[in-house]
Amino acid sequence: MSSATVTTSTNPAEVAATGPTLVVENLRVAFGGREVVHGISFSATPGTCLAIVGESGSGKSVSARSLVGLAGPTADVQADTLTVSGLDVRGLGERAWRRIRGARIGFVLQDALVSLDPVRPVGREIDEALRVHGLGSRAARRQRVVELLRNAAVPDPELRAAQRPGELSGGLRQRALIASALAADPDVVVADEPTTALDVTVQAQVLELLAELKRAGRTIVLISHDLSVVAHLADHVLVMAAGRVVEQGPADEILAAPREPYTRALIQAVPGAETRGRRLSPAPPVPMSARRATASDPDGPPVLAARDLVKDFPLPGGSTLRAVDGVSFALRAGTTLGVVGESGSGKSTTARLALALETADRGTVELRGEPWSVLPEKHRRARRGAISVVSQDPLSSFDPRWSVERILLDAVPVAMRAERHERVTDLIARVGLDDAVLPRRPLTLSGGQRQRVAIARALAPDPDVVVLDEAVSALDVSVQAQILDLLVDLQQAFGLAYLFISHDLGVISHLSDHVLVMKDGRVVEQGSPEQLFTAPADPYTARLVESLRSLTDPATVERTPS
């Protein structure tokens, strides 16, 4: 059995000389007679990373799934050439694909919690990949599982092998999924959005693991909408739009001097400190039919203030976890307070305390200068319209049976019910949608449309404060840019105050006036984005900033020698 360790000293430049491990010529994919991938071609050699980038619906994920025989039973996949490690894989049946998938080409999906079986330990998941390919006895496979997890930078691999996916963090689940994909030592690894929604430090760990696979001589095909990730890892970039390749070439050239307007628009949409104050998308501002009389007041009294918040959660065995420990902040009209930190830092619990969806063990929250968190819920109910929320996944918060119109009508306060239909029309216009979406159900909307509906719902009661918890982290870069521009437009028109929770430092630095950095439930540092991200005082903030990969920083890019 060959080793899957990723710490080999193989010289990628020497390995690349052996020729391509993946060759694709004129790949076409159709569903029900409708072609969605229109004749794309590329090749990749050992020890290199090919990145396929584009917006949602560009065809990049369908192309990736076609490489591993997972485009779906209704897909019609055609190509003039489609070889993996010299093997022609055109027209293979599922039985033949099972022998190849994992052994010659591995596949890493985006959402490890869904991709891993939730009812069995991750060790058994990896063991199955070994067993299917006849790799070793039961005892040898057990040892190999631990080795694979250790090579994937999973701490305490013996313990983690016995745990189920729900017991692991997002980063550990993603690394376990990579270990499973590497179990049979494939030459090619296809990674479809492997870092989306991971916090910045975990993302950096996963990227380093993929970089080690490159150094070990494997071919990486990276599917991503995150151009910062692409800049870090890719040697060659292929840009897709509407199922076609619009531009491709060396990563340095594509990212530094793109020729096509579409590629330039993708790069200009990436948020960061340097983009603060300018629009990220080419779309003009959404016209606002009305503006609130009480606009921004960054020097006025806080509209939301927290003082020394503490929240403990009980753990098995009688112990407790302190999720929030002494957090204080003040948020004023027309300003944005960014809260950043790793998974488990306490930022989302802080948001729930601010919304009074959790009860603090100590400390208080005031809304519009009056007590909020200490009130009984029946007294808070009349004031809930002053603070609203936009979550990361609006689809899970919508009733899938309801139309968009009913979702918004339900959010309009009783006091506005006499004019509620006019209110809904105004809300839809505010977020840049037209009346045609009103009869549609959430499942028929794109991700960007759903997030706009979620924002419209949050605006329905005319709030002073909107809490946004990872509200753009699952969106592709161009849709994210449109939503960020929309949030700025709404803030300027209505004096909204945003409590913006995110793991993405680029988004935080683009949008925020003031930033709290949280770790283990505490605020370790706070200040302006310029102060924190150019001269961090706390080692943890410095580590977050170091993990942030920049499109313009060549020192962070993992390249293969030419």
Indicate the length of the chain as a whole number.
562
How far is it, in rounded angstroms, from Cα 221 to Cα 65? 11
Q: Where are the domains of the chain?
A: 12-268, 304-551
Which of 469, 461, 472, 471 has its CA nearest to residue 496? Answer: 461
What b/e string do you get for 418-438 counting C-beta neighbours within 10 Å, with b at 16 or more? eebeebbbbbbbbbbbeeebb
12-268 and 304-551 have identical folds: yes
| Three-state secondary structure call for residue 414 | helix
Phi-psi region of 240 (alpha: psi -120 to 50; beta: other; left: phi over 0): beta
Q: Express each pLDDT in 256-315 by its tens digit.
A: 899 999 999 888 888 888 888 899 988 788 777 655 545 566 678 999 999 999 999 997
* Confidence at residue 503, expressed as pLDDT on a 0 to 100 scale: 82
Lowest mean pLDDT among 109-118, 314-323, 531-540, 546-555: 546-555
414 by Cβ neighbours in 10 Å (0-12 / 13-18 / 19+) ranks as exposed
**What share of the chain in percent tops pLDDT 70?**
90
CB atoms within 10 A of CB 343: 15
CA angle 113, 118, 123 (to 5 degrees): 95
Residue 12 has pLDDT above 50, yes or no: no
How far is it, in rounded angstroms, from Cα 45 to Cα 217? 9
How far is it, in rounded angstroms, from Cα 455 to Cα 460? 9
Structure token pair of residue 388: 């609203």
Q: Express each pLDDT in 117-155 by its tens digit.
A: 888 899 998 998 898 888 889 999 999 999 999 888 788
Name, in order, each residue with C-beta under 8 angstroms of 283's C-beta and a sequence gap of 6 or more.
Answer: 432, 482, 485
Q: What is the dihedral of CA 395, 397, 399, 404, to 10 degrees?
A: -70
Name, in order, each residue with C-beta under 8 angstroms of 14's C-beta and a sequence gap of 6 or more.
Answer: none
* Confidence at residue 470, expressed as pLDDT on a 0 to 100 scale: 85
What band does 16 get if pLDDT is binned at 50, 70 and 90? Answer: very low
* Confidence at residue 18, expressed as pLDDT on a 0 to 100 scale: 58
Which of 372, 371, 396, 392 has its CA nearest to residue 384? Answer: 372
What band does 8 get if pLDDT is binned at 50, 70 and 90? Answer: very low
What band does 224 get if pLDDT is binned at 50, 70 and 90? Answer: confident
- Tell me the average pLDDT across 185-205: 81
Asked whether the beta carbons of 365 and 306 are under 8 A apart, the reply is yes
How far is it, in rounded angstroms, from Cα 334 to Cα 9? 54
How far is it, in rounded angstroms, from Cα 219 to Cα 210? 10
- Tell me the average pLDDT across 525-542: 92
DSSP classification of residue 17: T
- Tell me the average pLDDT across 326-330: 97
How far is it, in rounded angstroms, from Cα 56 to Cα 449? 12
Its pTM stands at 0.79
* Confidence at residue 555, expressed as pLDDT on a 0 to 100 scale: 46
- Tell me the average pLDDT across 87-114: 85
Is 12-268 a CATH 3.40.50.1110 domain?
no
CB atoms within 10 A of CB 201: 18
Of 3.40.50.1370, 3.30.465.10, 3.40.50.300, 3.30.70.100, which CATH number belongs to 304-551? 3.40.50.300
Partners of 498 in the β-ladder: 336, 466
Per-chain mean pLDDT for the chain: 86
Q: Express each pLDDT in 30-86 by its tens digit.
A: 999 999 999 999 999 999 999 999 887 889 989 999 999 999 889 999 999 999 999
Asked whether the beta carbons of 424 and 409 are under 8 A apart, the reply is yes
Residue 548 has pLDDT above 70, yes or no: no
- Tell me the average pLDDT across 393-419: 86
Q: 3-state secondary structure string, 297-329? A: CCCCCCCEEEEEEEEEEECCCCCEEEEEEEEEE
What band does 215 get if pLDDT is binned at 50, 70 and 90? Answer: very high
